[in-house]
Amino acid sequence: MFRFGSGPDTEKEQESIQIDAFNTNLHGCRILCQGPFQPNKYAPILESVEKLRDPFKKKILITRATFSFSKYLSLQYDGIFQAHDNNDWTLILTYITYAPKPLLVVVEDVPIPDGLWGKLNRATTFVNISQTPVQNVRAYDAIFFSPLEESSSQQAEIMFKQLQHLYRSNYTQKEFREIMQELRVAGAGIAWTRQNEQNSNGALYWYDPVAGNQGDKLSNKQISELFGWLSQQFSST
């Protein structure tokens, strides 16, 4: 048994994990969703950003995908940017600098250039969803790690090293494996955040993955764009 979580249950030793611990407001934060995520097991970003739709004057998506809609967060975006080279990022950084705030920036499976961090302030909520390991984890205020299928996998080793780097350098494999075994049985994910935490190294929590695949729910506009793109492909052959 171990103590793990927040709220009134923190002071009690628990034999099982309740899947409702992460409730920190992440509005205005730099958030990483560290995959790989399996279908139906995404981080609850829409629930963790305060008043998601109301305060944002602009919402933009940065992607490498051919289609102009999100694979993970199916929202109505004001701008879609495809990031392939430095010229694309120059345009994106200019937009982020001068766009009306508050601003939501969602990045999907795109390497982040160092120049981006200086353009972000607390009027911008930044969400990076990456299926591959991210190197510069220090740049983030919160990280949602994907739920583990196997506690002895390469994914688990990467997660452990990142938590050692962020949370506690003397964090042991034994502590990690005990927690991850409980989480794996519960089907939960682990999250680290330093937002509103007294300890400068932040704290660990568990979260309930989003039950539905948000990327499967396309709007009428997105479906129209998809068929428009398909029509162009057929007409060009």
Model confidence pLDDT, tens digit, residues 173-213? 888 888 888 888 888 899 999 998 888 889 889 898 985 44
Handedness of CA 37, 32, 158, 20 (dihedral sign): negative
End-to-end CA distance of the chain: 63
- Give the span between the Cα atoms of 33 and 130, in whole angstroms: 6
Are 165 and 192 a contacting pair, CB within 8 Å? Answer: no
Ranges of each domain in the chain: 24-235
List the single range of 151-165, 200-214, 217-231 with lowest mean pLDDT: 217-231
What is the CATH code for 24-235?
3.40.50
Mean pLDDT confidence for 133-158: 88
- The Cα–Cα gap between 195 and 226 comes to 38
- pLDDT tens for each residue of 70-111: 888 888 899 999 999 999 999 999 999 999 999 999 999 999
Main-chain phi, psi angles of 205, to 5 degrees: -140, 170
- What the block records as the tokens of 76 is 């109505």
- Nearest one of 208, 185, 177, 188 to 2, comparing CA atoms: 177
Nearest to 129 by CA among 181, 196, 65, 184: 65
Highest mean predicted confidence (pLDDT) among 124-128, 208-212, 218-222: 124-128
Per-residue buried b or exposed e for 158-195, using 16+ beta carbons within 10 Å of the residue's own CB:
ebbebbeebbeeebeeeebeebbebbbeeebbbbbbbb
User: pLDDT averaged over the chain?
Assistant: 81
CA-wise closest residue to 210 among 25, 47, 76: 47
Helices vs. strands in the chain: H and E counts, helices first? 5, 8
